[in-house]
Amino acid sequence: MKKHSLFLATSLLACLSPLHAQEPDSKQIENRIGKAELKPDDKPAFPAPPAGFNKRRDGIPHGKTELISYESKSVGTTRKMTVYTPPGYSKNTRYPVLYLLHGIGGDETEWPRLASPDAILDNLIADKKAVPMILVMPNGRAQKNDRAEGDVFRQAPAFGEFDKDLFGSIIPHIEKNYSVATDRDHRALAGLSMGGGQTLNFGLTHPEIFAWIGGFSSAPNTKPPRELLPDAKKDAGKFSLIFLSCGNKDGLISISRPFHEYLKESNVPHIWHVDDHGHDGAHWAASLHHFAQLVFKS
């Protein structure tokens, strides 16, 4: 209870602080990138999630969300990440891990603030629609001052340095301190916007580390598909899942669509899911709801 009120108080302060940045919305994306122009394949792959999918439900077991610290070798500071452990988390089970990355205005608190990943996972696990898994939500801004302050767009280069922290410190810290399976089949990487770009850049080039990849509204930090997957059939074929999604009101659809087109041309199975949302928490919550039902299943 005490921890809970402290968390509420800090989140409230963070929201009120003029220094604290926010994720750009669809209008800001339109001003920077242009309007979303749709093509025939830009349609939903799934029906909209059921009502209440992202609301805490009474009468089911709940997981636990905590903010932890770790030493980052590459950044040279103590950094924070949010970790969700599923209901009934036990040292006698080795859990799969989904690493979830935030956007340009966010930090390790963004996924919990915008998309209620704890409620989404609790509900799916209770309904036996997702396997119990750990969610790790680190801070993708790999620089000494990693707060989302000032003109966050100027901090884009630090997102490109995050692979060293992820592979060199974050994954080792999780695998040392939690009861997790440590092979590629039990590691997934997904992210929203800048975090989607990081996911595609770092995930698609590391099939030995991750088998499951999800880019939601991926941002212009995303490298072109031909650079990440030069031999589409061979390189992309190594993954159990490549999931690409975007809202049909989000100008960043022009970043994800070429991946869909490249994979489609090369006959590589993947998911291209375009829903009715914009560059917003509703799209990211829905994408997590769909993605979490597909990962870690054979």
Contact residues for ligand FER, defined by CB under 6 A? 23-24, 29, 32-33, 103-104, 153, 156, 193-194, 219-221
**Contact between 194 and 153 (Cβ < 8 Å):** no
- The amino acid that residue 277 corresponds to is H
**Contact between 149 and 106 (Cβ < 8 Å):** no
Closest CB to ligand FER among 42 and 250? 250
| Whole-number Å distance between alpha carbons of 169 and 173 | 6
| CA nearest neighbour of 221 among 67, 48, 104 | 104
Q: Closest separation between CB of residue 60 and ligand FER, Å? A: 32
Q: Closest separation between CB of residue 146 and ligand FER, Å? A: 15
Q: Closest separation between CB of residue 231 and ligand FER, Å? A: 28
Closest CB to ligand FER among 103 and 132? 103
Please name the helix (run of DSSP H) or strand (run of DSSP E) that holds residue 177, with its range, or none: helix 171-177
Closest CB to ligand FER among 156 and 268? 156
**Contact between 192 and 103 (Cβ < 8 Å):** yes
Closest CB to ligand FER among 34 and 88? 34
- Burial class, 238, CB count within 10 angstroms (exposed 0-12 / middle 13-18 / buried 19+): middle
| CA nearest neighbour of 191 among 13, 12, 23, 7 | 23
3-state secondary structure of 4: helix
Q: Closest separation between CB of residue 256 and ligand FER, Å? A: 13
Q: Closest separation between CB of residue 281 and ligand FER, Å? A: 11
Closest CB to ligand FER among 219 and 241? 219
Strand-strand pairing, 97-101 and 77-85: unpaired
The interaxial angle of helices 281-294 and 117-126, nearest 10 deg, is 40
Q: Closest separation between CB of residue 147 and ligand FER, Å? A: 15
Closest CB to ligand FER among 56 and 153? 153
